[in-house]
Each structure stands twice: as structure tokens, then as C-alpha cells.
Amino acid sequence: MNVPRPTSNWEAATEAAIRQSLERGEFDGLPGHGRPIEGLDRPHDELWWVRKKLAEEQVDALPPALRLRRERELVLEAVAAARSEQRVRQLLDDLNAKIRKLNKYGASGPPSSMMPVDIDAAVEQWRTSRAP
């Protein structure tokens, strides 16, 4: 490690104290284990702690319509990977129930413009994609 030369007695003493502490292993148990501080290279964000807390608590800050739109994408990916027609129908039935509930009762945030998935058409597409 190439360390610049200290320019004053105070700096020399400080550098010597740090070096001795390193040699004794006093910095070994610190959080991060030698990795850079997370987010240090990101722009300043006054609400960083709110975002971190939401992520730690796994709180979804999206409005219901947007959250359901994302869930729909994930369900359609799961349908493509499903191994049985029964599983495909179950996934789509559950999704359609959520879509109908949101469309019927509404929620805060942007309105939902999603229509329930045509299960028979989706099953046919699933079968076709699996055919040899």
C-alpha cells in the first residue's frame, strides 16, 4: 500500500497510531469487513434512511394498481415456467381474483386498467410453448 508521507508531527503520530492499531487487529471486527461503505458513491439523498427502512421491513410503497401490475408480470413468468396445467390455472385464477377485486372496489393511487386474463387462451398458449 502506497501511503503519502505525513506533512506534520500530528499527521505522523496519527498515521503511526493507525498503523499500530491495524497491526494489532483492532479494525478487524468492524462492520463492512473491509468493504467500502454502501451508497457512498451515490448522490446525497435526505430520505436514505426511509428507503433503507422500507427495504428492511419489506414494505411495498407502490399504489395497489401498480403493485398488481408488477405481480401480473411475475405471475405470467411463473405460468411460463409451470409444469402442469392445473398449476397454470391456479396461478391465473388467483391473479384474476385480485384484478377483479381491485377493479370492483378501487384503491388509492392510479386507477386500474387491467382486465382479467383469459385463462383458456393462456392455457392454450402454455400448451403450445411446451409442445415439441
Q: What type of residue is 88?
A: V
Structural domain boundaries of the chain?
A: 64-130
pLDDT at 91: 96
Q: 115 phi and psi, to 5 degrees?
A: -105, 150
pLDDT at 7: 64
Containing H/E element for 20? helix 9-24
Model confidence pLDDT, tens digit, residues 59-104: 777 788 888 999 999 999 999 999 999 999 999 999 999 999 988 8
**How far apart, in whole angstroms, are the C-alpha atoms of residue 121 and residue 117?**
8
- Contact yes or no for 114/84 (Cβ under 8 A): no
**How far apart, in whole angstroms, are the C-alpha atoms of residue 76 and residue 129?**
13
- pTM confidence score: 0.56
Would you state the cell numbers that stand for residue 80, as one nine-digit string? 411460463
**Nearest in space to 16 (alpha carbons), one of 7, 25, 6, 28:** 6
Mean pLDDT of 105-125: 86
